[in-house]
Amino acid sequence: MAADRHPATPGTGDPGWEAAAASEDEIPEATQVFATALNIPLPDLVDTERDHPVNDTDRFLLVRDGARVAGTVNSHLFSLSVPGGPRPAAGVTGVGVLPTHRRRGILSALMRGQLADLRRRGENLAVLWASEGGIYGRYGYGRATRQYTVTVSRAHAALRPDAPRDPSLTLELAAPADVLPDLDLLHRAAQAERNGGFPREGNWWPLRLWMLSRPQADTSDLRAVLVRDARGRPVGSALHRLTTGFGHGGLPTGRVTAREVNALTPAARTALYEYLFATDLTVETEIIGLPEDDPLPALLADPAQAVRSGGAGLWLRLVDVPAALSERTYARPLDTVIEVADRYAPWNAGRWHLKTDGEDTRVEATTADPDLSLDAAHLGAAHLGRGPVTTHVDAGTAAEHTPGAAARLDTALYTPRAPRCDTGF
């Protein structure tokens, strides 16, 4: 599409970049290009890739400049939790363009080529973690989850007196690799509760633990804390590391950094938080990756002591708009016409009549007047139920032609729990 061509750097001419599949023997060069693009040493990546279970070489796409690789993109196939159940989704990763070749349209060529490739594969959704949030909106991705780091100072970490507590629960400290089946069981239960995540099949657990265990100065090894019920069954788990420090007068300044707080029962969650907040030689606990509606503030005696930062999340894209909208469920019946703009996946552009009773959904092309006009990225942000289209109408980047149409769409897309993805890729 002529409108998608980006001007070349003055004087270089526009080479008309094309993304094409990588051959097996180009993968090492592609990996080197990605490492160079990310400004990281190759061994960091190579270790990751070597242990990677799902590095399917036929999912790499490259842009070549003559004989050399100038840009790369890759993806993994996941089973992503969406409203209505798990669905195939491409986890886009490995995006990198050589520093010598930037701002000349190579990423745009890769994105366009990858979307066409995913459509051919019948993968109706694509998700990614963005290195910088400003990059992917133009390609039809919208931020579909918002995840926070919550910091609680030890001095103000008391939970409410009526927080559910079960004296029969016990705590166990372990090396994560030694309790992997228990961690996996609790992780799968957490995935079933919220959309936006995927089970860690194959080698994803070892890879995840490797990433979280990388050496850091003055920081402990990665530890798992498990909560067990009276029969010894796991009902809660969290991963954490401890940073040691001493300030003026030798006073401790250590910190607990925790993540993946998964609990089957409210009492198990209380036990985990009380454990994480009460570590000697630390002054605060930070918990990374909490969804926006995590119960922690509701458990604290003073909810304002849960100090929230961040808000990055998983970006989602409807590769095939009618197929993706048909394969999820809805909280309410809906009958609406949506006009979609989509520069990078032109098969999605046009008007779609969406009719659902909540479970059974039909999405068909139509020439009827639209109730709403929006960008594919707005649908991506909204798909997991917590990225209101109304916000984009208010911002003036989407248009409502029938009063209340955005609110009705938001209500139908809504999910009672906020989505969350707890695995980087």
Query: What are the strands of the beta sheet with 68-82, ordered from one edge?
Result: 19-21, 61-65, 68-82, 85-97, 125-129, 314-318, 142-143
Whether 103 has a binding-site annotation, put simply, is yes
Instruction: Verify binding: residue 116, ligand ACO, rule CB under 6 A.
Output: no
* Helix axes of 180-193 and 204-212: crossing angle, nearest 10 degrees: 100
153/134 Cα distance (integer angstroms): 32
Closest distance to ligand ACO from the beta carbon of 56 (Å): 16
* 45 interacts with ligand ACO by CB under 6 A: no
Q: Which of 30, 37, 159, 316 binds ligand ACO (CB under 6 A)?
A: 37
Residue 34 or 352: the one with the smaller Cβ distance to ligand ACO is 34
Shortest distance, CB of residue 340 to ligand ACO, whole angstroms?
A: 19
Instruction: Provide the β-strand partners of residue 20.
Output: 62
Q: Is 235 annotated as a binding residue?
A: no
Neighbours of 114 (CB within 10 A): 24
Of 138 and 351, which has the nearer Cβ to ligand ACO?
A: 138
Catalytic residue among 60, 78, 136, 141: 136
Burial status of residue 237 (CB atoms within 10 A of its CB: 0-12, 13-18, 19 or more): buried
The only residue of 41, 134, 249, 416 in contact with ligand ACO, by rule CB under 6 A = 134
11 belongs to an annotated ligand binding site: no
Among 97, 209, 290, 337, binds ligand ACO (CB under 6 A): 97
Which residue in 108, 145, 336, 348 binds ligand ACO (CB under 6 A)? 108
Q: Which one among 30, 62, 106, 268 touches ligand ACO, defined by CB under 6 A?
A: 106
The 8-class DSSP code of residue 28 comes to H
107 marked as part of a ligand binding site: yes
392: amino acid identity, one letter: H
Among this protein's residues, is 198 annotated catalytic?
A: no
Question: C-beta of 100: minimal distance to ligand ACO in Å?
Answer: 11
Q: Is 203 exposed, middle or buried (0-12, 13-18, 19+ CB in 10 A)?
A: middle
Of 108 and 262, the one with the shorter C-beta distance to ligand ACO is: 108
Q: Which is nearer to ligand ACO, 137 or 388 (CB)?
A: 137
Beta bridge partners of 334: 356
Q: Please, which residues have CB within 8 angstroms of residue 118's CB and are 6 or more apart in sequence?
A: 75, 90, 126, 319
What is the four-CA torsion angle of 407, 410, 412, 413, rounded to 10 degrees? 170
135 binds ligand ACO per the rule CB under 6 A: yes
Q: CA torsion 38→58→122→424, rounded to 10°?
A: -30
Sign of the torsion formed by the C-alpha atoms of 392, 398, 399 and 400: negative
d(CA 110, CA 124): 18
User: Smaller CB distance to ligand ACO: residue 74 or 361?
Assistant: 74
> Has 141 been annotated as catalytic?
no
Of 49-57, 97-105, 178-186, 222-230: span binding ligand ACO (CB under 6 A): 97-105
Q: CB-based burial of residue 399 (10 Å sphere; 0-12 exposed, 13-18 middle, 19+ buried)?
A: middle
Closest CB 313 distance from ligand ACO, rounded Å? 13
**Residue of the chain from 104, 154, 208, 383 that contacts ligand ACO (CB under 6 A):** 104
* Contact between 38 and ligand ACO per CB under 6 A: yes
3-state secondary structure of 256: strand
Nearer to ligand ACO, 70 or 379 (CB): 70
Active site residues: 136, 425
Which residue ranges are tagged as binding site for acetyl-CoA? 95-97, 103-108, 131-132
Residues of this chain that bind ligand ACO (CB under 6 A): 6, 37-38, 71, 92-97, 102-108, 128-132, 134-135, 138
Which residue ranges are tagged as binding site? 95-97, 103-108, 131-132
